[in-house]
Amino acid sequence: MLELFHRSAGRSRPDGRSTLCMGLVMRSNIRTYSKDEQLVASRRKEIALAAASVFVKKGYEQTSIREIGDRSGMGRGTLYHYVGSKEDILYLVATLGREHYADFFKKADILIKTVNETVNATQALQEAIKDFYSKVGERQDIMLFFYQGARKLPPAMRKEVLDWEEDVVGIFERLLAKGCDSGEFEIDDIVTVAHHIVCGGEMWATRRWFLKRRYTLEQYIGKETEFFLRAVGQGMEGEKPKLRGNLVLLEEVDKGL
């Protein structure tokens, strides 16, 4: 069994608990017959991307190694040159997904630390939304696979995925809290608003069948950003909409969506 471990990014949640920048790190015991580390890394990335697209369509359990090999253009024999099993491939997909968001966490940490110094909370929130939604757009199949299949993952990996989700929400909690502290935002329930922001980004993958017929990613980011800024009291003229409990009162917000 492959081993997983967390890498802490040293962040703090609004409630004072530390969070972990999820890094599903592949140990060296994945079998390979190549000594070229750069080639192995490149081939494994190709395998992971191909596998994610097949997993989304068929599910992990129903997908065969042959189908992943065909999708990657390597063939089954070549694929086994870089991995030892389908479980190895599942962990490669998870690793690629986590590594893909590493820059988001790094940039968000910097934004949070510089709020009210080089940027205000509104600018920081705009930038974080754009960055996270763009990351989702770049790796839609991986996001969709883990969103659809989290319940069927091995327990350790499922916990990693759920913990990572909390970390992303935690980033937006901290940004929203900064805005409330500075008086820019007016929010009754920061956790729920942060959760809605993250769900909005993930929808570009989970509801792409609907959204892509109507918007480009850039248009969608713009609409979602404006919606959330209006909801927290920015970006609209006149009375601020209120966030009461767990609901945004849509009748108080322009029908931008």
Task: Region of 235 please: left (phi>0), alpha (psi -120 to 50) or beta.
Answer: left
- Alpha-carbon distance of 75 to 130, in angstroms, equals 37
CATH number of this structure's domain 23-99, picked from the four choices 3.40.190.10, 3.40.50.10490, 1.10.10.60, 1.20.58.220: 1.10.10.60
Strands (E) across the chain are located at 7-12, 18-21, 243-244, 247-248
pLDDT greater than 50 at residue 22: no
Q: pLDDT digits over 207-227, tens only?
A: 999 999 999 999 999 999 999
Instruction: Find the length of the chain.
Output: 257
Average pLDDT over residues 125-139: 96
Q: What is the pLDDT, as a whole number, of residue 223?
A: 96
Q: What is the pLDDT, as a whole number, of residue 135?
A: 96
Torsion of CA 206, 208, 211, 217, to 10 degrees: 100
Average pLDDT over residues 161-180: 94
Q: How far apart are the first and last CA of the chain?
A: 47
Q: What is the CA radius of gyration of the chain?
A: 20
Say what the pTM is. 0.78
Buried b (16+ CB within 10 A) or exposed e, 108-135: bbebbeebeeeebbbebbbbbbbbbbeb
Q: Reduced to 3 states, what is the DSSP secondary structure of residue 119?
A: strand
Q: pLDDT grade, residue 15 (50/70/90)?
A: very low
Average pLDDT over residues 110-118: 91
Half-sphere CA count of 242, side-chain side, radius 13 A: 3
3-state secondary structure 49-64: HHHHHHHHHHCCCCCC
Q: Reduced to 3 states, what is the DSSP secondary structure of residue 212?
A: coil
The full set of domain ranges for the chain reads: 23-99, 101-257
Residue 18 near residue 11 (C-beta atoms within 8 A): yes
- Among 109, 77, 71, 87, smallest CA distance to 29 is for 87
Neighbours of 39 (CB within 10 A): 13
pLDDT greater than 50 at residue 66: yes
Stretch among 53-67, 140-154, 226-240 having the lowest mean pLDDT: 226-240
Place of tokens 């993250």: 198
- Alpha-carbon distance of 179 to 233, in angstroms, equals 10
Could you confirm whether domain 101-257 is CATH 1.10.357.10?
yes
The three-point CA angle 23-137-153 to 5° equals 45
